[in-house]
Amino acid sequence: MQIDYTGTVDGKPILEVAPEAKVVASGTGFWTQVEEGRFLPEILDAVKGMKVGETKEGVKAKFAKEGAPEGLGGKKAVYTVTLKAFRRRVLPTDAEFAEKAKAESIEKLSATIRETLEKQAVEAEAMRRENEAVELLLKKADFDVPQSQVRRAMDGYLQELAQRAQYSGLDASYFEKNRDKILKDAEDAATKQVRLWYVLEAIAKAENIEAKDEERGKKVIDFVLANVKK
């Protein structure tokens, strides 16, 4: 639905009471869905049964004490709401859905989705067991490792973190504010990584597990998993 709305608190426009609360203060041509959690519940309830072009005044709403925009916690507001337009979502038929997904039929599409989900479940379980094996190995390993190797591992950890932050939109202020924690987490992760490398190398040597560097760790993990009591 598309609505125009404007709200007041204690007879004053909401923006005068809470300058940062633009979304809940007023809107023109605002689109939202008529379902719980999409917008202020009192406004969503008010538009039910309204006709396009109709205006309803005196729509009362109350902001929660916790989680409300600054300055509005526990406050009561009164809105004037006008329904501008209304659209109903129409789900596609099975044939239309399959066509949009570029599948021959809904049956083949369902089979493909099921196969993908099953594959993801298998991969997730394999990852869970690998993590379980790594945790078991690290739990029994508590020894000092060369700080030069830890620093190199930290550099890799921090570079990866910076890339993820760039994709998620985090700015420099986040790192400045959390600098100490980020460096501590990076050092802990790097120490575990280096320690794990020594453990895997020791097991590979003891069990005569031979493979290329990038494959040897995986073979050792498989060996550990095969010998862990289920």
Tokens of 122: 């298998």
End-to-end CA distance of the chain: 55
- 218 compared with 193, residue with greater pLDDT: 193
> Alpha-carbon distance 52 to 54, whole Å?
6
Domain boundaries, the chain: 2-85, 92-126, 141-227
Average pLDDT over residues 168-187: 82
Asked which of 107-111, 120-124, 194-198, 224-228 is least confident by mean pLDDT, the reply is 224-228
AA identity, residue 45: D
Contact 122, 168 (CB under 8 A): no
Is the pLDDT higher at 11 or at 68?
A: 11
Residue of 21, 26, 35 whose CA lies nearest to 67: 21
The per-residue pLDDT for range 51-76, each reduced to its tens digit, is 999 999 999 999 988 888 888 989 99
Q: What is the distance, to the nearest Å, from the Cα of residue 151 to the centroid of all Cα atoms in its chain?
A: 30
DSSP for 103-145? Answer: -S-HHHHHHHHHHHHHHHHHHHHHHHHHHHHHHHHHHT-----
- What is the second-level CATH architecture of the domain 2-85? Roll (3.10)
- Of 4-13, 81-90, 190-199, 209-218, the poorest mean pLDDT is in 209-218
> Could you tell me the two tokens for 133?
């094996």
pLDDT in tens, 123-173: 998 888 888 888 888 887 788 889 999 999 999 888 888 888 777 776 777
Contact 10, 78 (CB under 8 A): no
